């Protein structure tokens, strides 16, 4: 049997509901970067700039990618056969792969209807789906679409003693969210130049360029007609039931200030009895602080390079955070994940799972509703191939491979 026949025989495409469809998509889009390249042409300019851009001149994004690419895994041969499984248990729940959909505000700008498409694909593949506070659907809708995999992310609404935040948490609890994620790494508002230059700013004003952009992207236009304009659906009850995007944006500008303090994290810990995760940690002392407050999980993240471009890559901070947590919390990671190989790199360095943001938006931008499922299937395929190649028969075994990681941060 030659290499190609062997690969064809062992290729699985798990996560995709339909293997034939997966194979057809795989021929056109064999990697996430093929999706990104197609998304650039397939959506209006402003939508691509929103999904693709980072802080500064995107150098934080570039460094995330370069840092992941620099992590080398030393294989062992003669120890394995076939493609290893990717199932994982996180916070006592069983998931299909150590890969999740990171919380994203306004993904419907990238592709109208995005939130539901992301949640549906995650539920089908049984991987974690994190709805953002400023996503385009409510916690109740997310729980209905993705009952087995739904997590909820919260930003800080400090006014009136956190009335809005506590109410959202109460709703997420009632809806059955499995995990609450508190984002720590947006203490200030920063600028993403490509977004601003593309006109994604408050107040939103349709301009001729944007209208023409939509008109010349038929798939996007159809999705827009089917799903309507992007809305911050979760916040509607707190804005007097308004559906105006500008009123929501004004509300957000007034209400969301700063990131959670540790005292505030402790208050959420008191209220939320299910697993609680903090997101955006890069310093091991912050990890220790989180663990001391009884936090169950930590997402090592630099917000995908979207805050400022001087933050270290999350993958380089990961080993120090894993060491600081010392097995007392589940360590998750995001920022720069573009392949199943990246996920295996993160797992080899101690993460229980990795999340992706932009990769899913590129999938949506290229393939619309089919995009998120294809991203998951691709990454699972790549993960299994990477595990098989390095001689790891399981995710656990991947943690004991020899890793060359010269840029790992030491504190
Ligand atoms: C368009 C977009 C919107 C985002 N919105 C949020 C958000 O509302 N809350 C949050 O905690 N993180 C948000 N993030 C950050 C992601 O959760 C995640 O940390 C990041 O995308 C991971 O990096 P990657 O895009 O390189 O995979 C957003 C990211 C993107 C790309």
What pLDDT, on a 0 to 100 scale, did the predictor assign at position 85? 96
| Nearest alpha carbon, ligand 1 atom 5 | 104
Q: How many helices (H) and strands (E) does the chain have?
A: 20, 12
Burial of 69 (0-12, 13-18, 19+ CB in 10 A): middle
Residue linked to tokens 């949506």:
364
105 CA → ligand 1 middle, Å: 7
Across 19-171, where does the E strand assignment appear?
72-74, 88-90, 93-95, 99-101, 129-131, 150-154
Ranking 11-25, 157-171, 343-357 by mean pLDDT, the lowest is 11-25
Query: Tokens at residue 156, please?
Result: 């800080």
Burial of 398 (0-12, 13-18, 19+ CB in 10 A): buried
Q: Is 303 a catalytic residue?
A: yes
Which residue in 45, 68, 354 sits closest to 194, CA to CA?
45
Tell whether omega for the bond before 203 is within 30 degrees of 0, i.e. cis. yes
355 CA → ligand 1 middle, Å: 10
Give me the catalytic one of 26, 42, 45, 303: 303
Summarised one tens digit per residue, pLDDT across range 155-197 is 999 899 999 999 999 999 999 999 999 999 999 989 999 999 9
C-beta 279 within 6 A of ligand 1: yes
CA 301: distance to chain centroid?
Answer: 10
Residue 8 has pLDDT above 50, yes or no: no
Burial of 327 (0-12, 13-18, 19+ CB in 10 A): exposed
Residue 14 has pLDDT above 80, yes or no: no
pLDDT-derived band of residue 248, with 50, 70 and 90 as boundaries? confident
Phi, psi of 214, deg, nearest 5: -65, -45
């Amino acid at each position: 049997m030659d290499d190609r026949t062997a690969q064809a025989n062992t290729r699985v495409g798990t996560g995709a509901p339909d293997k034939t469809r997966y194979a057809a998509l795989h021929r056109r889009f064999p990697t996430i970067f093929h999706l990104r390249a197609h998304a650039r042409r397939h959506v209006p300019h402003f939508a691509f700039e929103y999904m693709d851009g980072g802080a500064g001149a995107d150098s934080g994004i570039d460094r995330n990618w370069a840092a992941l690419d620099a992590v080398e895994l030393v294989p062992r041969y003669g120890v394995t056969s076939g493609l290893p499984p990717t199932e994982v248990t996180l916070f006592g729940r069983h998931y299909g792969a150590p890969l999740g959909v990171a919380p994203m505000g306004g993904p419907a700008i990238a592709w109208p209807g995005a939130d539901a498409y992301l949640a549906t694909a995650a539920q089908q593949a049984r991987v974690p789906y994190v709805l953002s506070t400023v996503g385009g659907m409510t916690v109740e809708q997310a729980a209905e679409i993705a009952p087995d995999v739904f997590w909820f992310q919260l930003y800080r609404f400090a006014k009136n003693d956190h009335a809005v935040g506590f109410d959202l948490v109460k709703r997420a609890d009632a809806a059955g969210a499995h995990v609450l994620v508190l984002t720590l790494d947006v203490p200030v508002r920063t600028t993403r130049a490509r977004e601003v230059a593309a006109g994604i700013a408050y107040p939103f004003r349709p301009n001729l360029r944007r209208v023409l952009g939509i008109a010349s992207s038929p798939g996007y236009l159809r999705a827009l007609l089917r799903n309507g304009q992007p809305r911050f659906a979760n916040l509607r009850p707190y804005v007097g039931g308004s559906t105006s995007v500008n009123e929501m944006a004004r509300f957000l500008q007034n209400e969301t200030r700063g990131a959670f303090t540790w005292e505030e994290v402790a208050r959420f810990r008191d209220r939320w009895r299910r697993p609680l995760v903090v997101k955006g940690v890069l310093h091991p002392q912050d990890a220790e602080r989180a663990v001391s407050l009884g936090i169950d999980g930590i997402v090592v993240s630099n917000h995908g390079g979207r805050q400022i471009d001087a933050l270290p890559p999350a993958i380089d901070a990961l080993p120090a955070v894993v060491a600081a947590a010392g097995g007392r919390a589940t360590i998750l990671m995001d920022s720069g994940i573009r392949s199943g190989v990246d996920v295996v790199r993160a797992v080899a360095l101690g993460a229980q799972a990795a999340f992706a943001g932009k990769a899913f938006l590129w999938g949506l931008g290229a393939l619309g509703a089919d995009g998120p499922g294809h991203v998951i299937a691709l990454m699972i395929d790549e993960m299994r191939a990477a595990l098989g190649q390095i001689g790891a028969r399981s995710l656990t075994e991947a943690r004991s491979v020899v890793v060359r990681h010269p840029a790992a941060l030491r504190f």
